[in-house]
Every structure is written in structure tokens, then in C-alpha cells.
Amino acid sequence: QKEVEQNSGPLSVPEGAIASLNCTYSDRGSQSFFWYRQYSGKSPELIMSIYSNGDKEDGRFTAQLNKASQYVSLLIRDSQPSDSATYLCAVTSYQGGKLIFGQGTELSVKP
Amino acid sequence: NAGVTQTPKFQVLKTGQSMTLQCAQDMNHNSMYWYRQDPGMGLRLIYYSASEGTTDKGEVPNGYNVSRLNKREFSLRLESAAPSQTSVYFCASSEGGGRDTQYFGPGTRLTVL
């Protein structure tokens, strides 16, 4: 079992819809959780971090964390074509500092 | 601030050749990382340096060596390149610690023939 798993997609949503991206992780000791966005041919950029159970909102983005279920998600409200990218879930290992990445979910927002 | 810079941006090698990928950051970060990214595989950690003077293996270290030259610079060396090392290589840096954000460089696209 991979340490961090994501649906590879592609996930296709219409413009204005809510896009829901999911991630599960295997290490119960994981403490920090991140969502990175990566446009084609570019480097990853951080869009959200979350450390405690519950929801964290930043503009159109909401990260949700459930440590009991070992599950973290990212919701994108009012999706725009500019949101079309690959979204990478990352989790710190129990040793701290090192990030373990999922394989990424490709999101396509259709006008 | 330039953030994290990498050189070169593109490189083509023949099997058996060696090369060094350079990375530098101007954010006074303590920790630096080298990743490779292959289609469908996400980012995989090759080596990291938690602080100046220390380096540790990541998930896929075989065939690579690293040098933390000083606090700013962290290089990745391929001693004898193999086609399996064809990939996009990203350098990243962070302040250090479990909650901090990693900032990525623009990447080096390497092809080994």
C-alpha cells in the first residue's frame, strides 16, 4: 500500500461547480498535511496546509482533515478553468520534515 | 528574492555520463531537498539536508550523491547516468520542522539516452 494515495483522475467538472479532491494516508503518526497545485510543465506551489482535525478555509479553497479516518480532502468552490492543474497531496512522515507525496489528481475545469 | 533556483533547466546525457544539478536558495532556509517526478508517480524524495552539514537518503537515493555546499546551495550528482534516471528533478527548501512549507525551484528536465 502506498503511503499517500490519491485518485489519479482526470477529474472533470464544469465551470462554477465544486471540485472535490481526496487523499488517504497510511501513517497514523502523520502530523502535517499539505495540498500543492502543479500546472503542466511548472513546479508545485502550496495552496493549503492543515494540521488539526476539521475544516480550514482560504478563499475558494477548503481543506478537510479527519485523522481518525486518515483522510484529507480539498474542496474548490466556484471552479474556474484556471484551476485546471494537477493537485498533489503531501503528508509529513512520522520522522518529521520529510514530505511524502501522493501521485496527484489531474483536475480539468470545463468552461 | 529569486527563491529557489536550479541549473540547468534542460539536459541531455548519454548513458554513463556524469553531471551535477545545482540548486540555490536565498530565503535563509535550513532544509533543502531533491525530488524526482515521473509520470503517474508524484514526487519522490531522493536526498534531503535537514541543516547545513547534514544529508540523508530519501525514498530513491540509488545512483545519486548530494553535497550541501553551504546553507544556500545543495547539489545533486549523477555519477554514471542511466536511462532510468530520465525524469524531472525538483529542488526545494524550507525553514525546517514538520509544519513548514517547502518551496520548489523551477525544475530540471533530464533525458538520458
Kindly report, residue by residue over A63-89, the tens digit of the pLDDT. Answer: 999 999 999 999 999 999 999 999 999
pLDDT at A27: 87
CA–CA dist A63, A56 (Å, integer):
5
Beta-carbon contacts of B113 under 8 Å, excluding residues fewer than 6 positions away, are: B12, B13, B14, B15, B83
Contact (CB<8Å) B48/A45? no
Longest dimension (CA), chain A: 43
Strand A11-14 and strand A54-58: the pairing is unpaired
Give the three-state DSSP class for B68.
Answer: strand
Three-point CA angle A18, B106, B71, nearest 5°? 120
pLDDT at B40 over 90: no
pLDDT at A21: 97
Kindly state whether B99 is in contact with chain A, defined as any CB-CB distance less than 8 angstroms.
Answer: yes
Residue spans of beta strands (DSSP E) within B10-97: 10-13, 19-25, 31-38, 42-49, 56-57, 64-68, 74-78, 87-94
Kindly state whether B97 is in contact with chain A, defined as any CB-CB distance less than 8 angstroms.
Answer: yes
**Range with lowest mean pLDDT among A2-6, A54-58, B78-82:** A2-6
Contact (CB<8Å) B104/A43? yes
Kindly state whether A52 is in contact with chain B, defined as any CB-CB distance less than 8 angstroms.
Answer: no
pLDDT at A98: 79
- Output the average pLDDT for chain B: 93
Set of cell numbers at residue A28:
497514523
Give the number of beta-carbon pairs within 8 Å between A and B: 56
Kindly state whether A99 is in contact with chain B, defined as any CB-CB distance less than 8 angstroms.
Answer: yes
